[in-house]
Amino acid sequence: MDHPKPASPLVSHATCEHLRHKGMYVMSVVDPAEFQFYDKYDATAYWCTKTQKPLGPDGKAAHASACHDGRECCSH
């Protein structure tokens, strides 16, 4: 069964369709004022839906900066 990909400002259209983080499943509206204290350190816990783990099928980390075109296991 195909499920729609949840949306997230942390995961772009160029990111692998199998990348997830729990914020993608929260149905709340983000207060724009919260972003004035943006921290450049991304502590988001990502996982791959292919492995259901924080590592992709290739054994490398599942992360928004790593799961993109050029990676063997990445798909769109």
41's tokens: 């350190």
Contact indicator for 15, 67 with CB cutoff of 8 Å: yes
**Single-letter residue type at 29:** V
Going by pLDDT thresholds of 50, 70 and 90, the confidence category of residue 75 is: confident
Distance between CA atoms of residues 10 and 24, nearest Å = 9
- pTM here is 0.70
Range 17-53 burial, b when 16+ CB lie within 10 A, else e: ebbbbeebeeeeeeeeeeeeeeeeeeeeebbbebeee
pLDDT value at residue 53: 97
Domain ranges in the chain?
Answer: 13-23+44-76
> For residue 34, what pLDDT is reported?
64
